[in-house]
Structure 1
Amino acid sequence: MQLISTSLDSGWELAERLPAGRDLFLLSGGEKLWLPATVPGHVHTDLVKAGVIADPFKRLAEWGARWVDESDWTYRTSIFVNAERLAARGIGGRHFLHFAGLDTLARVFLNGKYLGQADNYHRAWRFDVTEHLKEGENELRVEFDSALRVGREKAAAYIGDGSSDRGKTTYFNFPPRAFVRKPQYMFGWDWGPELVSCGLSGSVELLTVPVAEILHWKMNYTFISPSVVDIDFAITLRKYDSQPLTVKAVLFASGDTTPSTVLEGPPGEYTVPLQIRSFVTERWNPNGVEGPRKRHLLNLRLLTVPDDQGDEPEPLHRIAASVGFRTIELVQERDSPPAPAPRGYPGGASGGSSFQFKVNDQPLFIKGANWIPDHSLPTTITKHQLRQRLTAARDAGFNMLRVWGGGLYESLDFYSLCDELGILVWQDFGFACATYPDDDPAFVESVRAEAVANVRRLRHHPSLALWCGGNENVELHQGRWSGNDQATKFYGEKLILDTLPEVLKIENPQTPYWPNSPYGGVDCRDENSGDSHYWNVWHSKEPGSNGDWSNYEKCDTRFSSEFGFAAPAGLTAWKHALAPEDLTVRSLGSRWHDKTRKGYETYLGFIKMHFPEPQCFADLVYFGQCNQALAFAFGIEHWRRRKGRCGGTLFWQLNDCWPTHSWAVIDSAGEPKLAYYAIKRAYSPLLLSLRRAGRSIEAHLVNDRHQDIPGQLSVQLLTFEGEPVSLAEQAVTAPANAASGAQLALAIPGFIADAGTDVFVHALFRPESGEPVESFLLLADPKDLRLADPGFQTQVGEHSIMIEVQRFAAFVTLYFEGVSQQPQLSDNGFFLAPGQSRTISVSHLPDHQTLAQLAPQLRLRRL
């Protein structure tokens, strides 16, 4: 008899669980009004389906749904079990209820018998029901307590009267979320709503294990030559019977072997070692690196001992996985001597240490972003949705995503897609922007179990590049964000310096660990070592710096793991979320969906600093997105020009969890903002970057390829009509896997006013082989440019749109009006020089329409 798994995801109901006296008809307390429930799911989505609450993403409905998180909820279903299934117990088998996820504070009952409780969203839960199942119908009941209320109660009890060194409960110092192990962002963030919710967050199964099962497995490998690996497996299983078993591993790769061992012994837990030597002719490589992303199928099998004829019996339990082989290293080498600043940068860089990833022994400049959960209620996230977002990241040149600590340990679909697409994963553990009660033994043990479960679940993925102890916890303590209300001791230090490293030492010592982000040196804000979060543009308190993205040049970090600039979502997302009357610049609906905590007028002021004041909602979206595009491109190009000192950039953030004003470059409707395309250009393997240095323009080349690229470089100053003002040109070489420094400088003539309102800079690098690359630079704020109608000419093809201009055009943007979902474009928000044309590929057209049918709805906008 094999392991039997039966899904229990259907037939669920939910009800609010009221205390005694809360309801006239339930004086003794209990549930009323049972509603259909979706599993996996959240109480909010079921209440929306039933018409109890409005969609919390729409208008101000989030406000109206707050009572949901103050309430307790109960889920129930019925399980039918036949006599044959129950008979497995007679051959030493056991029956288990397996919950892939419980969100979060839950008690589980079967046929009125208490099975146990759960207190951690981030792990699976299993209950032995062998003694409780009966033939026929069985009632399964799960009671959830309000995570928000319990978190408040625990915070208040932990803080006491506020006289201890723990300080007082504040937004960052021991907030309610710090006491409940669930995704922190569900309590609200500066880009997301407060939808704490509850529910069965993973699938539910009835498992019958007759003889034995594999609990988990570990694979360590060593390259003994460029194409041969020695692999050590440790397969941990549990026996429920004394009969001998065969444990087998099969790796489907060239020259593999299929080792097996016979395990004898009484019931209990065993760890079985196996070794394979395999020829791996192709390694797994990240996106942008020449070479394949080769993966191999691994099959682990648990069988009874073969019969006398040697025939292999059917497996009692099998696990299939896709594995890849690569080496990864986080290099932190001391500077000796301190590296001088390149030309154009004042002063010299002081000593410190590098923060550089190497994959397959090759240095890799990291190009990527921070990732948040793709919906405020995570069970609604689909594999299709993840594929869209991650493919967009791949297409924009990303080679890494940081899975931020306030979100999820993502689904297996997420990591499998990263394996497939070549996107490395920097994985935070589930801590962000808070102090945590690490002197509570029960809390620490819950964190340990969470860490063990997720490390075991993810450690075999070739995309996994780094474990990190959390987000901004050290910075919070060192910076004392909450002032005198904050704890004086670092509560959380035990977790990141003891608990998590202890888990990794046993479970995944091969993957690098970084205690927190940012981190490095005595001061985690030290730019000479470790990683940095640079928020002195968006959150700066320095006069003249707040909102001015040119100040990114003030940061000379070794690795920029967070920086960001906010902008509105696209019009499609807003039209789904707001009523027509809300689509004004200062509507209450628009202000409610701004969670940036800057103050809405300050946010608008950041746009007006560089662009015209928005007169309508379409202006707000367009000017806001143009401003964000310039900000991200400026920051990324700055740090790429510092390649060699700087090891990479992970901007904040790739995606959104609801329709909002945020730092995301792909909104909740899946529509890329203009910044997405600007970043795609800034992450190009061969970058031509222009930088103004006083009265001259510098041209830098940044080359991520592993060979020199010679060619001809020109930098030209032109009027908007296309008349040449000045030109510099020479033969140069983009050095292999390096930044060139200033290769060419063009002086700005004295008769050009400092404002530069009538001219622009256009640079072109023509390699001896391959496609040319170009760059544009404005010498004045966009709002001050004196631009004429560019004279658009468009030609619509079967799968593309060609656009040509007579005069300079800035931020040329294509939009299809009145469609439910925007088509996918190869570029948007681009510049065109006079007489220049650009062909834009168009795909994923909505509603099976052709591009010719959509052509009448095409709208072009430019500055």
Structure 2
Amino acid sequence: MPHVDELGGTWDLRVAPHGPVPEQAEALAGVTVPAWVPGCVHTDLMSEGRLEDPFRDDNEIAAAWIGRTDWQYRRDVSWSGPAQERIDLVFEGIDTVADIALDGVALGSTRNMHRSYRYDVTTLLDGVPRPLTVRLTSAYTEAERVRELLGPRPNAYPGPFNFIRKMACSFGWDWGPTLVTAGIWRPVRLEGWSTARLAAVRPLATYDGTGSLDLTVDVQRTRECDLRARVLLDGREIAGLDLPGGATVAHAVADAGEVTPWSPRGHGEPALYDLTVELLDGDRTLDRWECRTGFRTVAIDRTGGGFVFHVNREPVLIKGVNWIPDDIFPARMSRERYERRLREAADAGVNLIRVWGGGIYEDRAFYEVCDELGLMVWQDFLFACACYPEEEPLYSEVVAEARENVRRLAPHPSLITWCGNNENLWLREPSGWPGKPGGESSWGEKYYLETLPAIVAELDPSRPYQAGSPWSGGWEHPPNDPDHQTHHSWEVWNRQDYTHYRDSAPRFVAEFGWQAPPAWTTLRDAVSDEPLLPDSPGVLHHQKAEDGNGKLARGLAPHFGEPASTEAWHYLTQLNQVRAVRTGVEHWRSHWPHTGGTILWQLNDLWPVTSWAAIDGAGRHKPLSFALRELYAERAVTIQPRDGGLVVAVLNDHAEEWTATLLIERQDTGGAVRATATERVSVAGRSVALVPVPAAVADFGDPVAELLVARLDAARALWFAVEDRDFSYDDPALTVDVEPVPCGLDVHVHAVGLARDVLLQPDRVHPEAVVDRGFVTLLAGESTVFHVRAPVELDAGLVKAPWVLTDLPSVLRR
């Protein structure tokens, strides 16, 4: 069996000799700084007190020199394991441009953050420590060199990210800082082996009544001899693959027999099986590969321009979120952090995570947790918002990167589709890229329409490929045509109010969203401005979208008017984010299966920023994250304008029929019922029914003081005929009782009159406090309980401090 010596932990870091030294780096010239591997230069310098937190104020700007500097990592290594025929030095990830040497002998160079590297160091190691150096060239230097070689190419952001195979968003995005990293960002090790090792195992597990395993094994050898690979499923041998003589590849299709299929959330059990492949030389086990996998079959029905996912031959309504790297310094990610964030998504009713193309292929732990939770994964190849050269030195890097990651991720049943890029096919014409310098040169079309689909067809035919997001299926329609396949809805937010979501029913909405600032404490921790204002310098520095605050203001105006204070701005922008997303999701869900699903932009942030995220950069939940529970619930009702009237859309994403009595009332703010109607409804599983609201109920006698309420079992929907700024909100006469309980407080709230959008902000009680719900609307006479929890004892009196607990009528009266 291979023997492994991990080389993580403490290394030495210094500014690389004989490289560019920006003025800010001069103080470090010749200085050795302790570094941690896996890690990156920024986090090492922060740990040593040599770099201010770039997340605070405008410190990001002061850290820019790091990305312009060459760096060197060093440590001594020796082989302490048993004698082996071959010793390899293995890097799972280097960020990004590196020259590697052991004891002064050059081993190789890297130019791709998204690949692993393996070097034979057998003759260079013995029991004596030898110096291992990794010299990192500035990513800017490399990208600018390639740009000079190949000529310019347009992109949507200033950085040259499209000339280097590196996490694109480290160069800055409309929600992210410009912090161009360098480092050994994934584990590194020495690996000793003899005779042969398993170089790659690629299982494609599918289900069609029984399980089938299409398995390819790649072997690396030191000698020719007859070998065998034994395949075990939950300890049961299901196949054997012979590798005679010098054979290095074996393939077989094995019958896995009666298995429980892996199913996505809401559609059954995400059943997983232990898969083991053992490489044998006679009775001797040379190597062992293990993972957990699941059996399922995936297809996309694109009939008539549609876009509906089918898993195990069953159509699945997609209730998704877009995922960006959860930290601008991805080496800081851990399995625990992945699990926390993904469980938060699952708890919000999400069933699909789209891994966006400007980030990274995530760590194995990410996909394993998705496998376990039944979260489907849409995986972009890593191209976003730019023209990408198709020539060398980039083309071969793209091919190698794609082949490695398709193989690496193949075992994961959660991964259900590969996508060629994010917005590159779409943005070319609307952005006028063909008329810009380099716009007529190669721009990536070959990658998306030829290279990548060929790789997926060869290595992973078990999953559907799509050329891009958005993409209409071919050039006969505009790439972002809402009537054909996937659509990104950004006219709303950028130029239109969110009510315009109702103007169309795209076949599949792969991106849409509305901004809001982070939680109050997250904002205050990141911005030291006094006074703190929506347009104070630090707040604007943590707003990266073009005219982002202007769009927030224009989004508030038609609904609420101008906020009276920064605190009101914070509350109202959070509320408007929820209102916008609710408008879109409920409208589009009411058109299922014409509209195959929605993928919210975005779940998470990678630093504290005003953005579209539901969970902010400090991991605090915005109210949107709680609203998703209602919007993505299996069963829900919503009142929708349709054909000049109103309908109640009964949304049943449960397998069983939903039969109950629908109650529709028009009532005033004091709870008096002005009109009512009931109807018995039966809605088949996985379907939607539209129930017209009778004219006698829908005809508002006093639109500024009445609302519609629809109830079906525990589901409820509200409809107001006028905007909030025009509605006659009376004082709801809230009463608040705070009950200390173990680990927190239970806050009991009762409303005498209509209390719309009551919100408790737990971080205003304590930075570590959390709550179990976001905005809650109480009709006259209703009550609710906010469960506030924290790892410390909480001061109950703080609940009644300003802005801890508030409601919309109170905010509009201030």
Question: TM-score interval w.r.t. the shorter chain?
Answer: over 0.9
Q: Say yes or no: does 1:444 pair with 2:395.
A: yes
Task: Tell me the CA shift for residue 382 of structure 1.
Answer: 2.0
Query: Counterparts in 2 of 1:640-719, with a 5 A limit?
Result: 640-692=589-641, 696-719=645-668
Query: Counterparts in 2 of 1:169-568, with a 5 A limit?
Result: 169-172=153-156, 176-221=160-205, 223=207, 226=209, 228-252=210-234, 256-261=236-241, 263-266=243-246, 270-289=248-267, 291-306=268-283, 313=284, 315-334=285-304, 353-438=305-390, 440-482=391-433, 484-485=435-436, 487-488=439-440, 491-520=443-472, 521=474, 522=476, 523-540=478-495, 545=496, 548-568=497-517
Task: Tell me the CA shift for residue 75 of structure 1.
Answer: 0.9
Deviations 1:31-59 (A, max 9, x none): 51110111111111111122222111011
Distance 1:10 1:679, change over 3 A: closer
Distance 1:708 1:141, change over 3 A: same
Task: Tell me the CA shift for residue 262 of structure 1.
Answer: 5.3
Task: Tell me the CA shift for residue 847 of structure 1.
Answer: 2.4
Q: Partner amino acid for 1:846? A: A
Residue pair 1:247, 1:261 contacting (<8 A) in 2 also? yes
Task: Tell me the CA shift for residue 73 of structure 1.
Answer: 1.0
Deviations 1:794-814 (A, max 9, x none): 453747544321111111111
Residue pair 2:698, 2:708 contacting (<8 A) in 1 also? no
Residue pair 2:19, 2:70 contacting (<8 A) in 1 also? no
* Residue number among 811, 824, 847 corresponding to 2:791 in the alignment: 847
Q: Partner amino acid for 1:231? A: L
Residue pair 1:155, 1:175 contacting (<8 A) in 2 also? no
Distance 2:174 2:316 in 1: 32
Task: Tell me the CA shift for residue 556 of structure 1.
Answer: 2.0
Distance 1:134 1:853, change over 3 A: farther
* Residue number among 681, 693, 697 corresponding to 1:732 in the alignment: 681
Q: Partner amino acid for 1:46? A: D
Partner of 2:12: 13
Q: Partner amino acid for 1:48? A: M
Query: RMSD over aligned Cα, in angstroms?
Result: 2.6
Distance 1:582 1:100, change over 3 A: farther
Q: Partner amino acid for 1:206? A: L
Q: Partner amino acid for 2:804? A: R
Q: Partner amino acid for 1:250? A: L
Distance 1:119 1:279, change over 3 A: same
Task: Tell me the CA shift for residue 270 of structure 1.
Answer: 1.2
Partner of 2:759: 813
Task: Tell me the CA shift for residue 606 of structure 1.
Answer: 2.2
Secondary structure of the residue that 1:374 maps to in structure 2? coil
Secondary structure of the residue that 1:6 maps to in structure 2? strand
Q: Partner amino acid for 1:646? A: T
Partner of 2:112: 120
Distance 1:174 1:488 in 2: 19
Residue pair 2:765, 2:794 contacting (<8 A) in 1 also? no
Residue pair 1:174, 1:435 contacting (<8 A) in 2 also? no
Residue pair 1:376, 1:657 contacting (<8 A) in 2 also? yes
Secondary structure of the residue that 1:33 maps to in structure 2? coil
Task: Tell me the CA shift for residue 369 of structure 1.
Answer: 1.1
Q: Partner amino acid for 2:572? A: F
User: Which stretch of structure 1 is more off in the superposition, 317-326 or 668-677?
Assistant: 668-677
Q: Partner amino acid for 2:791? A: D
Distance 1:371 1:564 in 2: 13
Distance 1:201 1:820, change over 3 A: farther
Partner of 1:790: 732
Partner of 1:32: 30
Residue pair 2:243, 2:249 contacting (<8 A) in 1 also? no
Distance 1:22 1:430, change over 3 A: closer
Distance 2:605 2:121 in 1: 40
Q: Partner amino acid for 2:328? A: S
Distance 1:196 1:614, change over 3 A: same
Task: Tell me the CA shift for residue 599 of structure 1.
Answer: 4.8
Residue pair 2:664, 2:697 contacting (<8 A) in 1 also? no
Residue pair 1:425, 1:465 contacting (<8 A) in 2 also? yes
Distance 1:656 1:303, change over 3 A: same
Distance 1:20 1:297, change over 3 A: closer
Residue pair 2:752, 2:781 contacting (<8 A) in 1 also? yes
Distance 1:572 1:21 in 2: 39
Distance 1:740 1:258, change over 3 A: closer
Secondary structure of the residue that 1:635 maps to in structure 2? helix
User: Which stretch of structure 1 is more off in the superposition, 51-60 or 710-719?
Assistant: 710-719
Residue pair 1:696, 1:748 contacting (<8 A) in 2 also? no
Secondary structure of the residue that 1:418 maps to in structure 2? helix
Task: Tell me the CA shift for residue 221 of structure 1.
Answer: 4.5
Residue pair 2:318, 2:597 contacting (<8 A) in 1 also? yes
Residue pair 2:238, 2:256 contacting (<8 A) in 1 also? no
Secondary structure of the residue that 2:587 maps to in structure 1? helix
Residue pair 2:654, 2:685 contacting (<8 A) in 1 also? yes
Q: TM-score, normalised by structure 1?
A: 0.88
Distance 1:280 1:743 in 2: 47
Distance 2:607 2:532 in 1: 17
Q: Say yes or no: does 1:827 pair with 2:773.
A: yes
Partner of 1:165: none
Distance 1:688 1:587 in 2: 41
Q: Partner amino acid for 2:10? A: G
Task: Tell me the CA shift for residue 695 of structure 1.
Answer: 7.5
Deviations 1:773-807 (A, max 9, x none): 10112222223333233222345374754432111
* Residue number among 708, 730, 738 corresponding to 1:761 in the alignment: 708
The runs of 5 or more residues in structure 1 that have no matched partner are: 160-167, 307-312, 335-352, 767-771
Secondary structure of the residue that 2:129 maps to in structure 1? strand
Q: Say yes or no: does 1:107 pair with 2:83.
A: no
Task: Tell me the CA shift for residue 393 of structure 1.
Answer: 1.1
Task: Tell me the CA shift for residue 613 of structure 1.
Answer: 2.6
Secondary structure of the residue that 2:50 maps to in structure 1? coil
Distance 1:8 1:20 in 2: 26
Distance 1:565 1:222, change over 3 A: closer
Deviations 1:708-750 (A, max 9, x none): 2121112222221212222232222223311212443455776
Aligned positions, number? 798
User: Which stretch of structure 1 is more off in the superposition, 829-838 or 11-20?
Assistant: 11-20
Deviations 1:658-684 (A, max 9, x none): 100000011112222112222221111
Q: Partner amino acid for 1:605? A: R
Q: Partner amino acid for 1:859? A: V
Task: Tell me the CA shift for residue 131 of structure 1.
Answer: 2.4
Task: Tell me the CA shift for residue 22 of structure 1.
Answer: 5.6
Distance 1:452 1:851 in 2: 56
Residue pair 2:22, 2:65 contacting (<8 A) in 1 also? no
Distance 1:757 1:209, change over 3 A: same
Q: TM-score, normalised by structure 2?
A: 0.93
Deviations 1:75-119 (A, max 9, x none): 11111335x65x42xxxx111110110000110011111111000
Query: Counterparts in 2 of 1:6-85, with a 5 A limit?
Result: 6-17=5-16, 19=18, 32-82=30-80, 85=82
